[in-house]
Structure formats: structure tokens, C-alpha cells
Amino acid sequence: MPAETHVEGDPIGRDEVLALVRDRLADILEIDPSEIGEGDSFADDLDADSLALIELVEAIEEELAERSVGFRIEDEVLEDLKTVRDAVDYVSSRLG
């Protein structure tokens, strides 16, 4: 892994990424994390607007900054993240 994108520590598994996304999204939307399914659409199932998604991205970036230097979710990628699974898959692939 390139030094500029990795900090020593335990690798983050997909399940941990899912838990992170669920927890942060639940805080933003003020719902219980158990109400968030991996296949849920941000807009259709969770009523998350674009501001909520931006807050989610910022929370994920902040959380992962300690483990992966310079971790960012690019603005143009945000448009492609339609479901919780999309977000988890994207973050996992960037960390992998």
C-alpha cells in the first residue's frame, strides 16, 4: 500500500466500514442504526437529502483520517452513491 495513503494499524474490514456508515448515518438522520439496511437507498428508503450525504461523507473522512492518510471521497463520486451498499463498497475498495 502506498505510504501516503496508509497509516500503520489494523486493516478496516468491510463489516467495520458498514458499521461506521450505519452509525454515522443514524446520527445524521436521528434514527436507530438497526433501521438502516445495507440495500437501503439513501433517498428512497432513508429520506436522506444531499446535505445528509455530505455530512456522512465528512464524518467518514474524519473517522478514517487517522487510519488512512488523505482518505477522501471525491465530490463527483458522491453522485454515484445511491445506497448504503454503494457507500460501503466504495469506502472498502479505497481502503483495500
For residues 32 and 24, give the distance between their C-alpha atoms in angstroms, rounded to a whole number. 11
The answer to whether 83 and 18 have CB atoms below 8 angstroms apart is no
Note if 44 is an active site residue: no
The answer to whether 25 and 36 have CB atoms below 8 angstroms apart is yes
SS3 percent helix, strand, coil of the chain, rounded to 5, is: 55, 0, 45
**Which of 27, 49, 75, 86 is labelled catalytic?**
49
Q: How many C-beta atoms surround the C-beta of residue 47 within 10 A?
A: 11
Active centre residues (catalytic): 49
